[in-house]
Amino acid sequence: MPPRPSEFALEALGTLTAANLYQTHLNIGLLADALEVDLYELAQAQEMLQLIGGLLAASDKQLETLAGQPLDPEDKKGLERARQIHTLLREQIQELQAYWKSNEKEAAARFHRAREKSWVAVKAMLNLKD
């Protein structure tokens, strides 16, 4: 049986994961907003969004690996919560890509709903108040 991760390592990982989730959500939104005001060309924004998605996938893969380790129930719960937010952030990325592809009003609305849904989850995880 592999050794249990140390409490210090888990605490550090939790802090870094929370910061990453917040920053990922922020970056997706800032990128969407920046394209709306012509700060970036579409190709540049798509490339940056693809990078964000790749980093998110790599982080999720590491969390998936950690989920297979011996952890106490509270740590497993936090890990699962982070992975659920990863799913919401991937959905946000997909909806933004769909909006950029179609430029349709309904696609924009789906992106904004996904953006709000992921923000609610990030905010709850970080215990942020309005």
Q: How far apart are CA 23 and CA 1, in angstroms?
A: 35
The helix/strand/coil state of 44 is: helix
Rounded Cα gap, residues 73 and 79, in angstroms: 10
Q: Cα(41)–Cα(2) distance, rounded to whole angstroms?
A: 48
The whole-number average pLDDT for the span 15-25 is 96
Topology of domain 7-125, per CATH?
Four Helix Bundle (Hemerythrin (Met), subunit A) (1.20.120)
70-117 pLDDT, tens per residue? 888 999 999 999 999 999 999 999 999 999 999 999 999 999 999 999
Q: Which amino acid is at 129?
A: K
Residues of the chain with pLDDT > 70, as a percent, come to 98
pLDDT digits (tens, 9 = 90+) for 27-64: 999 999 999 999 999 999 999 999 999 999 999 999 99
User: Which pLDDT does position 6 carry in this prediction?
Assistant: 83
Q: Is it the case that residue 3 has pLDDT exceeding 70?
A: no
CA distance 77 to 34: 35
pTM attached to this predicted model? 0.92
Sign of CA dihedral 37, 46, 114, 105: positive
pLDDT at residue 120, as a whole number: 97
The residue type of 34 is: A
Q: How many CB atoms lie within 10 A of CB 95?
A: 23
Question: 29 versus 7: which is more confidently predicted?
Answer: 29
Q: Is the pLDDT of residue 2 over 70?
A: no
